[in-house]
Chain A
């Protein structure tokens, strides 16, 4: 009999029962936030149901919090709808006894930054949240994915989810990446390779020496973007780096329980003889710093490359979509991507707002600063740390001072301009170098133009005032 994949092992460990061909899968950790939960709690109330495992549920306020004045509290939030959602969450978690890091609490932040940071995210777990980038937690070897509001209610009430099993897809990235190339470039290169629907119906396991070489932060960036490749979830098998990261975090086991947990976690890897439905291999050395040019995460180009034209498309549909993207983005086919002049730089989101992301951006900014360079005068640049703790750590390391000295705004944590549900928005026509995960039309504000890239690349763009090759700023 063939061995099992990492996904098979997690799946098998969580099947509680089967009904009408669907598995009832046990959920170990349920992360919730203000936007996708109010109707779920209302549903519980209407049906007089309890939350089955409040102790396996954690709430944060992140999607629509303002990134300034958080200490003033929820009642000071200017946007009426946002305020109501935040107040509703506060009431719901109180009524049902769920742990909550409210806005302004140093432990609060973007849900996918907070889970790992607190050690809530652990190998071999099943993790869900009403946000599609829940795939981030796959970096720890946990099966993690986004769910809808009716499913949120289902998990609250039953601590399970009705699921059909997905296919096994392995992406191996082998070899040494060039300097200035990291997880974000890997992720964009993978999406460019497989397309935004390439992972549909699959769980992708990332493997290979270049993936092993990534830090936990890098692995989170990689898994975060799996969803943009259409996959259900992304996974990286846990290893010493994973365990080192988790040790001593508030919610990880201590003492004898740690040893017991460790032994369990070490069983989560794909067997040598496991069979994957599909596998691709990428050469890390051939991946350049990558940015997006269009309105889909698969519209990628090496920073040294040119904006593609409709003639590069294989089908009439594709041609039409390239034409439309170029028009929306205000770009000409054939122009070097580095010609694109930037108005806004956003360093943040659950893709790239962890301490390591901020360090890599700050390094570029500091080097430039020592050479007498600041943020280009026409650029509004902002850094939004992923959590209060990331922010505090960065401040302890003096990163905030470097950013501020160079002309960046240093803001308070939250999702911010990743989805522009709070006041941080692009104006129509503004072009943004963004470390987030979606460059869809209007994602960062109506008419806004988004180029996805790594934090170091975004920092370089801020200094240059246009899309720039980070390697010129190392």
Chain B
């Protein structure tokens, strides 16, 4: 998992509430054997028409929002099924942080497992970010260390985050990353074992 310290990136507004995981990544994309490649299915029904052509008026299809890294969106983002494909798809698309007034629980947890930073701000702050994002090509700065979001016009909003989670995000630690902090112990264990049970080596 990539560490998340400070992100300066283009911001894209998606002013819809209750976007569920089925909208984030519809179920026909779950048969994949890969975690990457899911970008194609991100917000599929919003992005494409029945014939699979991009809908020109959808924000993510507009050139001014190309390569956006921060998504600002409505209440209760990520509700619905627990699929981990939702954060995978967002990350694969290039989104590293989602800002909203609230998130569904499982989605919120899954974000931290995958290096995607969910940020909860107040309703008027989210609204201001959406207004300032309009038109495209605007950059926000999400600073995890300082727990602040700086809007395109320079307004600074602070946010709360669980300290444990913050540390893990800052260091890019998922469960694997956490275990690898004990890598020395694993090395030592393996060295001892190679001596006491040599028949297990070099199979």
- A253–B113 alpha-carbon span in the complex (Å): 40
Query: How many angstroms between the C-alpha atoms of A45 and B1 in the bound complex?
Result: 10
Residue B62 interfacial (CB < 8 Å): no
15 pairs from A and B in contact (CB 8 Å cutoff): A17-B182, A19-B182, A26-B190, A39-B33, A52-B186, A56-B203, A84-B33, A157-B176, A158-B183, A158-B186, A159-B186, A159-B190, A162-B175, A251-B203, A252-B199
Q: Do B186 and A47 touch (CB < 8 A)?
A: no
Beta-carbon contacts under 8 Å, B24-44 to A: 31-36
**Considering the chains assembled together, what is the distance between the CA atoms of A43 and B189 in angstroms?**
25
With a CB–CB cut-off of 8 A, which chain A residues contact B199?
Answer: 252-253, 257-258, 260-261
Is B200's beta carbon under 8 Å from chain A? yes
**Count of chain B residues near A, Cβ 8 A:** 31
Cα separation A335 to B22 with both chains bound (whole Å): 47
Closest residue to B179 on the A side, CB-wise? A158
Please state if B203 and A153 are interface contacts (CB–CB under 8 Å). no
Interface string of A156-182 (1 = CB under 8 A from B): 011110100000000000000000000
- Using A46-B35, A154-B176 as known contacts, say yes or no to A24 and B185 having CB atoms under 8 A apart: yes
Please indicate the chain B residues that have their CB under 8 angstroms from the CB of A215 in the complex: none
Nearest CB in chain B: distance from A257 CB, A? 4
**A42 on the interface (CB 8 Å rule)?**
yes
Q: For residue A39, which residues in chain B have a CB less than 8 angstroms away from its CB?
A: 33-35
Contact status of A43 and B198, CB under 8 A, knowing A17-B182, A153-B176: no
Chain B positions 176-203 with a Cβ under 8 Å from a chain A Cβ = 176, 178-183, 185-186, 189-190, 193, 196-203
Q: Which residues of A contact B (CB under 8 A)?
A: 16-17, 19, 24, 26, 28, 38-39, 42-43, 45-47, 49, 52, 55-56, 81, 84-85, 88, 150, 153-154, 157-160, 162, 251-253, 257-258, 260-261, 264
Shortest CB-to-CB span from B37 to chain A, Å, is 9
If A19-B178, A47-B1 touch, does A28 touch B33 (CB 8 Å cutoff)? no
**CB-based contact B33/A42 at 8 Å:** yes
Residue of B2, B181, B198, B203 with most chain A CB atoms under a 10 A cut-off = B203
Question: When A16-B186, A85-B33 are in contact, do A55 and B202 touch as well, CB less than 8 Å?
Answer: yes
Min distance, Cβ B180 to any Cβ of chain A, angstroms: 6
